[in-house]
């Protein structure tokens, strides 16, 4: 009898955990259509203020207008990007470039970025799915990009074109997840 009294609450608890897990998994599945913005860091990042009221509306709450990110890819974003344009500016005498990048299986958007030699590069990574990481071996850069995004900072300390890649296995197309940064 004592065994039954112990087993029944455990079964009930297991059922509750299963329901909560499945509810949360279904919610995450639908939220993956839009990249998560690292909001606190995004709002603190040193970027140029929007010039017009409509631009201010487009960027509030880390969102860019009503853009649906579910179909963004390098092919579809050659002309129009759902992310703000890169911003180059001087902060306390230091040149820096802020670039918003999308990350998802198995691509970077944009896949090609540019910076000037000596600039501090700030990559605000918007992730839409699983954990990734960015690695730029020639510049000694490596950082994880969790599902809610990340901010990656480094100095453009060498001139040339360097490959960046995902260094966290993320599925069947992982080995093709590469991009380039050109430093002039």
Shared domain for 116 and 177, answered yes or no, is yes
Shared domain for 158 and 102, answered yes or no, is yes
Rg (CA), the chain: 21
Of all residues in the chain, the percent with pLDDT exceeding 70 is: 60
Number of domains in the chain: 2
Sheet containing 160-166: which strands, arranged edge to edge?
A: 112-115, 178-183, 160-166, 132-136, 141-145
Q: What is the pLDDT of residue 112?
A: 95
Shared domain for 97 and 109, answered yes or no, is yes
Pairing of strands 141-145, 132-136: antiparallel
18-27, 29-38, 60-69 — most confident range: 18-27
What mean pLDDT do residues 160-170 have? Answer: 94
Shared domain for 9 and 97, answered yes or no, is no
- Quick: pLDDT tens for 8-30: 776 677 667 766 666 654 444 44
Shared domain for 133 and 176, answered yes or no, is yes
Shared domain for 43 and 108, answered yes or no, is yes
Q: How far apart are CA 4 and CA 143, in angstroms?
A: 50
Shared domain for 25 and 50, answered yes or no, is no
Average pLDDT over the chain, rounded to an integer: 74
Shared domain for 70 and 132, answered yes or no, is yes
What mean pLDDT do residues 95-106 have? Answer: 93
Shared domain for 130 and 157, answered yes or no, is yes
Q: The domain containing residue 73 runs over which residues?
A: 34-183
Q: Residue 39 sits in a domain of what CATH number?
A: 2.60.40.420
Shared domain for 64 and 147, answered yes or no, is yes
Tell me how far apart the 2 most distant CA atoms of the chain are, in Å: 77
Shared domain for 112 and 25, answered yes or no, is no
Shared domain for 89 and 164, answered yes or no, is yes
Confidence of residue 47 (pLDDT cuts 50, 70, 90): very low
């Amino acid at each position: 009898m004592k065994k039954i009294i112990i087993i029944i609450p455990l079964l009930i608890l297991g059922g509750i955990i299963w329901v909560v897990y499945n509810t949360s998994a279904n919610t995450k599945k639908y939220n993956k259509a839009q990249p998560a913005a690292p909001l606190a860091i995004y709002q603190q990042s040193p970027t140029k203020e929007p010039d017009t009221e409509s631009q201010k509306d487009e960027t509030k709450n880390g969102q860019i207008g009503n853009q649906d990110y579910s179909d963004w890819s390098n092919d579809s974003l050659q002309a129009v990007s759902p992310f703000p344009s890169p911003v180059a500016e001087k902060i306390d005498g230091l040149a820096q470039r802020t670039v918003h990048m999308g990350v998802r299986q198995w691509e970077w958007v944009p896949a090609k970025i540019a910076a000037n030699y000596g600039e501090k590069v700030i990559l605000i990574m918007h992730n839409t799915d699983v954990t990734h990481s960015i690695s730029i071996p020639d510049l000694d850069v490596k950082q994880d990009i969790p599902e809610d995004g990340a901010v990656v900072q480094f100095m453009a300390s060498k001139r040339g074109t360097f490959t960046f890649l995902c260094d966290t296995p993320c599925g069947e197309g992982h080995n093709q997840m590469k991009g380039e940064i050109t430093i002039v």
